[in-house]
Amino acid sequence: MATNKNNRVLIGMSGGIDSTVAAILLQEQGYELVGATFRTFAPTPVPNTQYPIGGTPSITHCASEQSILDAQRMAATLGFEHHILDFCESFRKEVIGNFISEYACGRTPNPCVLCNSHIKWGKLMQAAEEYGCDYIATGHYAQIAEHRGHTYLKTAVDTQKDQTYFLWMLTEENLRRTIFPLGGLTKTEVRQIAFKHGFEALSKKEESQDICFIPNNDYRTFLSQHGVSVPQGEYINAAGKVLGMHQGFCHYTIGQRKGLGIALGSPKFVTKIDATNNRITLGDREDLLTTEATIADVRIRDWDWLHESPAVQARIRYKSPATPAHLLDGTSIHFTTPVWGVTPGQSLVMYKDDLVIGGGIIC
């Protein structure tokens, strides 16, 4: 094992196109690579086993051994060493445990945000030291920039693929030792690079949008298999009138319209989840418009800059447009124009001039 750091980069590899092309580009730039793939979970619960809310899920191994094999093959093809890092226990506690407990409280979590900050960067930084690497790299679509003496995430050139929303919790220390080779490229260009280097099948492979540890994206079954069992409760309107019965508050999220199992003559949306009383409020689409939001676990890179220039662009979910806003008192956000479907548990990420200046978790 090397002990002298000499332009070595530990690259997180999934076996997919983005991390493979990132590796190709880094090699072309003269970096010495060390590949790493995470073993985090397996989606098969222990049959007939119930777990306490927020307790121990049965997920202990990697869901896709094939992805590990793919990553190993890519590293071998490109000619650099590869390691499998077992993060199962940390992933189970910090990501899956949070996912379960948040839904059990009537909130809608974003596990990718926690995984990136706590698992991918948290553990990769440790592994980089072990393998004598100066930097870590991933196939995320993001850039890094310096401003006013601070290091920031910057949005990717490909705005449709930009992943800064999921990376907002990364610290300056994280970013100073990170390389994002794909930040200045479009997805089309990445596919062309893969094709050019002989990875034709990979260049045409479709991407999965599912949560990695939820089989078939069926989070309701996943929750019930891991101890989140909530009885039927009441649907009500804004005035408190009972409209019918739902299947338990944890099976719903703010803004949901389909799968409600109730006919009321016109489309209705989930506008509020009351976990304490197991009640769900239904309303019209316009009832989900608001100009206010409250956030917790607030992290701001440069408070002085924000005080000098309080206007920001705020994004309340990954694919939502960034909306002009102001952070009023450190925890309250006022949007210049109404936003739709502010959802407790999701991240609110703030931008200035394409830089991620901070964020928080919606209350």
Task: Supply the mean pLDDT for the chain.
Answer: 90
pLDDT in tens, 113-145: 999 999 999 889 999 999 999 999 999 999 999
**Residue of 293, 248, 296 whose CA lies nearest to 275:** 248
pLDDT in tens, 234-243: 999 999 999 9
**Residue of 256, 260, 257, 258 whose CA lies nearest to 246:** 260
Query: Six-digit token pair at 88?
Result: 């199962």
Give how far Cα 253 sits from Cα of 217, 287, 294, 306, Å: 14, 15, 18, 32
The answer to the question of residue 3 being in a domain is no
Which of 54-68, 90-104, 243-257, 271-285 is least confident? 54-68
Same domain, 24 and 119: yes
What's the rounded Cα separation, in Å, for the pair 345 and 254? 10
Ramachandran area for residue 172 (φ above 0: left; ψ -120 to 50: alpha; else beta): alpha
What CATH number does residue 279 fall under?
A: 2.30.30.280
Same domain, 186 and 321: no
Q: Determine the structural domain holding residue 306 and report its residue range.
A: 289-362
50 — pLDDT class (breaks 50, 70, 90)? very low
Same domain, 19 and 130: yes
Q: Where are the alpha helices (DSSP H) in the chain?
A: 17-28, 65-78, 88-91, 97-104, 111-114, 121-130, 172-176, 187-196, 200-203, 219-225, 303-308
64 — pLDDT class (breaks 50, 70, 90)? low
Whether residue 247 contacts residue 223, with contact meaning beta carbons closer than 8 Å, is answered with: no
pLDDT reported for residue 56 = 40
Same domain, 52 and 171: yes
Contacts of 186 (CB under 8 A, 6+ apart): 157, 158, 161
Strands 347-352 and 355-362 turn out to be antiparallel
| pLDDT over 90 at 329, yes or no | no
Same domain, 253 and 333: no
Same domain, 119 and 206: yes
Q: How many residues does the chain have?
A: 363
6 — pLDDT class (breaks 50, 70, 90)? low
What's the rounded Cα separation, in Å, for the pair 117 and 113? 6
pLDDT reported for residue 227 = 87
Contacts of 206 (CB under 8 A, 6+ apart): none
Residues acting as catalytic residues: 115, 212
The pTM of this model reads 0.90
